[in-house]
Amino acid sequence: MEEQKLTTPAILPGFMELLPKDQMLFNRMMDTIRKTYETFGFIPLDTPTIEKAEVLLAKSGGDTEKQIYRFQKGDNDLALRFDLTVPLARYVSQHMGELTFPFRRYHINKVFRGERPQKGRFREFYQADIDIVGFETLDIVHDAEILSVIYQTFVALGFHRFTIRINNRKVLNGFYEALGIEDKTGVLRILDKLEKIGPENVRKELGTMNLSEETIDKVMRFSEIGGTPEEVVAAVRALGANEQTEVGLSELEAVTKAMREYGVPEENFKIDLTIARGLDYYTGTVYETILNDYPSIGSVCSGGRYDELASHYTKKSLPGVGISIGLTRLFYQLREAGVLEGDKSAPTEVLVLPMTEGRGAALALASKLRESGISTEVYLNGGKMKKQFGYADKLGIPYCIVVGETEVETGRYTLKDMASGNQEMLSEEEIIAQVLQRKAQEAAKKVCGEKP
Amino acid sequence: MEEQKLTTPAILPGFMELLPKDQMLFNRMMDTIRKTYETFGFIPLDTPTIEKAEVLLAKSGGDTEKQIYRFQKGDNDLALRFDLTVPLARYVSQHMGELTFPFRRYHINKVFRGERPQKGRFREFYQADIDIVGFETLDIVHDAEILSVIYQTFVALGFHRFTIRINNRKVLNGFYEALGIEDKTGVLRILDKLEKIGPENVRKELGTMNLSEETIDKVMRFSEIGGTPEEVVAAVRALGANEQTEVGLSELEAVTKAMREYGVPEENFKIDLTIARGLDYYTGTVYETILNDYPSIGSVCSGGRYDELASHYTKKSLPGVGISIGLTRLFYQLREAGVLEGDKSAPTEVLVLPMTEGRGAALALASKLRESGISTEVYLNGGKMKKQFGYADKLGIPYCIVVGETEVETGRYTLKDMASGNQEMLSEEEIIAQVLQRKAQEAAKKVCGEKP
């Protein structure tokens, strides 16, 4: 070969790339989420990564404009999607006549944001979204349905101690309006920090907002309301609810009732009047989800109700409700917390090691195992047995079978359990039964193991 | 709402976006391929969509430079990957010390090429690749292993009449060298058109290349060699094989022997001396795959052996062999040919329709069905029964269950088969058994139905 200058193999900062063992874990998480979403009948959607910049930026401003990856190619002004909600709005508007409403879709794929990189923040990351979009109307019960999917998703991942926090923008808007507060967004932004900086600092920051002491008192008292959903609703009513607040309270009552019908346990949801969600487009129910044992991760799944999903693309009214899991960040945080469980670096269940002259028989046995749905590799690179078993160990392959002439003649093979070191002489059928049994046990294990 | 200017919801030309029914088909194809790859123990890999431009372009030139999506963000010179092979080379070089060799990975994801859009060509499309990368050496048997995976993949998709065409660059290089042909690439490019333009036009084009009539005769005779693998090898030897050609012939013999051990039927592969594959980096075995009934689609799966995968990133020798399915194009062509079979527009198996006051019971029944792995939706938008059944029809949902007070009291439900219109009164357990049975039958069906 000619002498040439080497290019250093490296990726950009702020991008995630995994080694096989972590990739296997990541895929198990993603598959669990996908499977749960499908169990509720959500339709898979896939949209282009690259879209027209004018379409993606139809609504945006501020941070989005700064963070978006935007570029020219030929005459086209292009951009990479920065979330999955804007493409959904575009898709539903564009294909309105060909879709069945309510349109229930899930979308799990990468989005792109050129943020300043920092620990646990990525410029390219997976989101796992579900949304239900109605045509002109969408019953409030769907707000609870979305939550029941999220509940099942986190249970399927292996969590039990998590809390879905529910609020309603109408309650907030009505309450602040009744108090004569004009800069509601400003107040909400300060209240959002309650958990982080504590009530005293929040009070201090509210003090800079040109509000009377009495108003600040009421705001603080409102934010401290807690208890069961019924207690929270009653406490807000006791503070005096105007018409808008009352609509919001009725919606919270309807969502609570439906959550119970969906069988979501009381300990997994609560009404929390302090959450507001930053995005402007939420108009009713808003949600966040906290892992009780890992509060510092923040919300792992957020969303809410928006009355006008697609108002930048169509005059038709398309109300929706949805939620998004930031999968890459969640994976990163759970891995840091040591919550993920799995030690396979390959999907392989059985490694077949052919002795000299045993290759044909080894390949035939492997085909049989694969026909039974068992992921099987034949080691084809020779070398000492120790090296071959070492290959299985490194990849976390649970079983090895050595195939030589004797095995072919007798039809019985030695199955070695790599974890225990045990060896057993078995027939093909017995091997298949044992491997499938172990595989089923593994499949029943959750990817996230909550510490007791 | 304020009056505002609407943005037309549209995507860019040359990008694929599917409606739910087609998306369901596409995902079934992708899942089938993924599952087959995993059955052979290939490890999933996922690399960033955006990489450093200097890394992606370390080797390239010509078309790649022109087609690549490249842009600046801050100080970074970025590009979107245009294939999955360059990222593999970069990944293996970068993480060499942490990987187990031979490293067997699959990668199914999108790549990006700013080509001039034309029918059946896309600027953003899925590739489904497998590669096996050795450290310093890689046994020739892996060349056959890759082909056996491809054979199983197309069988799993529903094809039987397809042909894997195998050749070896050493045979070609040796033969042309022996003839004293200097511009081998030029001759190969012309021979590549044999099927398209016919032998006479190929001969004419070869005539422009400053070759003697005798040489052209030999080239044409060589390209016409056919028959069983043994006949082809013998015929090449009869024309006089130099050392390089002989090495290539031995490799073809080894691959053929292993293909038979893998159980690939004779009618599904043949040695074809006319295929060369455009890419420079193939050094030994090369492959193409043709669907016998749809030859105009061209090769649906191509690849080969490259002795130096990562020579632009490392001085270590990393020989590899692999293959790529251009999934988006294949899907598009098969759909055009009417080969794809499926009529569901949602994953849902059962739609539960609650009568007034039946919602709680409907939600409880749906939960039970989901626990058994049955994708279930509860219709929550009321309206007439006809409209509710119509929703199931439009989405291709196979079963409906109406839940009212009687059903709750008796524990027996009417299961309506939407295709036949049949209705049966069944218990929960009977419903689960029947739906699961139908689901298993559906799952056994192939996504591609070859016309008899």
- pLDDT tens string B74-90: 889 999 999 999 999 99
A chain contacts of residue B364, beta-carbon cutoff 8 Å: 261, 263
Look at residue B1 and tell me whether its pLDDT is greater than 60.
no
How distant, in Å, are the alpha carbons of A233, A241, A246 from that of A251? 11, 14, 9
By the 8 A CB rule, do A380 and B141 touch? yes
Distance, CA of B380 to CA of B352 (rounded, Å): 9
Look at residue B293 and tell me whether its pLDDT is greater than 50.
yes
- Per residue in A154-171, pLDDT (tens digit) is 999 999 999 999 999 999
Strand B399-403 relative to strand B350-354: parallel, antiparallel, unpaired?
parallel
| Rounded mean pLDDT, B148-159 | 96
**Do the Cβ atoms of A51 and B91 come within 8 Å?**
no
A chain contacts of residue B359, beta-carbon cutoff 8 Å: 141, 261
CA distance B216 to chain A (A): 31
How distant, in Å, are the alpha carbons of B24, B173, B203, B352, B388 from that of B391? 17, 62, 61, 11, 5
How distant, in Å, are the alpha carbons of A22, B273, B449 from that of A340? 9, 51, 41
A382 pLDDT band, cuts 50/70/90, is confident
Which residues, at least 6 apart from B71, have a Cβ–Cβ distance to it below 8 Å? A69, A71, A72, B78, B79
B451 pLDDT band, cuts 50/70/90, is low
The token pair that represents A204 in the structure block: 């201090």
Look at residue A1 and tell me whether its pLDDT is greater than 60.
no
Which residues, at least 6 apart from A290, have a Cβ–Cβ distance to it below 8 Å? A162, A163, A165, A298, A299, A300
Distance, CA of B194 to CA of B196 (rounded, Å): 5
Which of A 28-87 lie inside 8 A of B, CB atoms? 38-52, 54-55, 58, 69, 71-74, 76, 78, 80
**Do the Cβ atoms of B377 and A40 come within 8 Å?**
yes
Look at residue A396 and tell me whether its pLDDT is greater than 60.
yes
Burial letters B149-174, b for 16+ CB under 10 A, else e: bbbbbbbbbbbeebbbbbbbbbbbbb
Task: State chain A's mean pLDDT as an integer.
Answer: 92
- Per residue in A286-333, pLDDT (tens digit) is 999 999 999 888 899 999 999 888 899 999 999 999 999 999 999 999
Per-residue pLDDT, A116? 81
By the 8 A CB rule, do B42 and B321 touch? no
The token pair that represents B363 in the structure block: 């939600």
Distance, CA of A323 to CA of A143 (rounded, Å): 10
Which residues, at least 6 apart from A438, have a Cβ–Cβ distance to it below 8 Å? A349, A398, A399
Per-residue pLDDT, A273? 93
The token pair that represents A166 in the structure block: 């529910």
B chain contacts of residue A34, beta-carbon cutoff 8 Å: none
Write out the H or E segment, with its range, that includes residue B94: helix B85-94
A chain contacts of residue B133, beta-carbon cutoff 8 Å: none
**Could you identify the residue written with the tokens 């333009």?**
B197
Tell me the residue type at B270. Answer: K
Indicate the DSSP class of residue A296.
G
Per-residue pLDDT, B279? 59
A413 pLDDT band, cuts 50/70/90, is very high
Dihedral angle computed from the Cα positions of residues B191, B196, B199 and B202, in that order, rounded to the nearest 10 degrees? -50
Per-residue pLDDT, B61? 67
SS3 of B69, please?
coil
**Do the Cβ atoms of A261 and B17 come within 8 Å?**
no
A217 pLDDT band, cuts 50/70/90, is very high
The token pair that represents A327 in the structure block: 């999968």
**Do the Cβ atoms of B9 and A90 come within 8 Å?**
yes
| Rounded mean pLDDT, B338-363 | 91
A359 pLDDT band, cuts 50/70/90, is confident
| Rounded mean pLDDT, B5-12 | 94
Q: Shortest CA distance to B321 belongs to which of B217, B425, B249, B251?
A: B251
- Axis-axis angle for helices B184-191, B194-207 (nearest 10): 140
Write out the H or E segment, with its range, that includes residue B302: strand B302-306
Per-residue pLDDT, A279? 59
SS3 of B202, please?
helix
Q: Count of A–B CB contacts within 8 Å? A: 266
Look at residue A25 and tell me whether its pLDDT is greater than 90.
yes
Number of helical (H) and strand (E) elements in chain B, helices listed first:
16, 16
Dihedral angle computed from the Cα positions of residues A152, A153, A156 and A157, in that order, rounded to the nearest 10 degrees? -150
Look at residue B435 and tell me whether its pLDDT is greater than 60.
yes
Q: Transcribe A402-422 into DSSP letters.
A: EE-HHHHHH-EEEEEETTT--
**Do the Cβ atoms of B19 and A98 come within 8 Å?**
yes
Q: Shortest CA distance to A431 belongs to which of A357, A346, A366?
A: A366
Which range has the worst mean pLDDT, A16-20, A226-230, B353-357, B411-415?
A: B353-357
**Do the Cβ atoms of A377 and B7 come within 8 Å?**
no
Task: State chain B's mean pLDDT as an integer.
Answer: 92
**Could you identify the residue written with the tokens 């009404």?**
A271
A236: phi > 0 → left, psi -120 to 50 → alpha, else beta; which? alpha
Q: Is A383 on the interface with B (CB under 8 A)?
A: no
Q: Which of A40, A60, A343 to probe the B interface (max B CBs under 10 A)?
A: A40
Distance, CA of A108 to CA of B25 (rounded, Å): 17
| Rounded mean pLDDT, A106-132 | 93
Higher model confidence: residue A351 or residue A61? A351
By the 8 A CB rule, do B78 and B70 touch? yes
By the 8 A CB rule, do B90 and B51 touch? yes
A chain contacts of residue B69, beta-carbon cutoff 8 Å: 50, 71, 73, 78
What pTM, to 2 d.p., does this model score?
Answer: 0.95
Per-residue pLDDT, A119? 80
What is chain B's length?
452
By the 8 A CB rule, do A405 and A358 touch? yes
**Do the Cβ atoms of A50 and B314 come within 8 Å?**
no
| Rounded mean pLDDT, B261-269 | 95
Strand B70-73 relative to strand B76-80: parallel, antiparallel, unpaired?
antiparallel
Which range has the worst mean pLDDT, A222-231, A232-241, A273-282, A423-432?
A: A273-282
Look at residue B306 and tell me whether its pLDDT is greater than 50.
yes
The token pair that represents A270 in the structure block: 């609560």
Look at residue A7 and tell me whether its pLDDT is greater than 80.
yes
Bridge partner residues of A403 (DSSP): A354
Which residues, at least 6 apart from B362, have a Cβ–Cβ distance to it below 8 Å? B352, B353, B354, B378, B403
The nearest alpha carbon in chain A to B17 belongs to A47
A262 pLDDT band, cuts 50/70/90, is very high
| Rounded mean pLDDT, A170-186 | 89
Distance, CA of B23 to CA of B398 (rounded, Å): 18
* CB-neighbour burial class of residue A103 (10 A; exposed 0-12, middle 13-18, buried 19+): buried
- Per residue in B106-153, pLDDT (tens digit) is 999 999 999 887 787 899 999 999 999 999 999 999 999 999 999 999
Rounded percentage of chain A residues whose pLDDT exceeds 70: 97
Highest mean pLDDT: which range of A355-359, B197-201, B283-287, B381-385: B283-287
Per-residue pLDDT, B381? 87
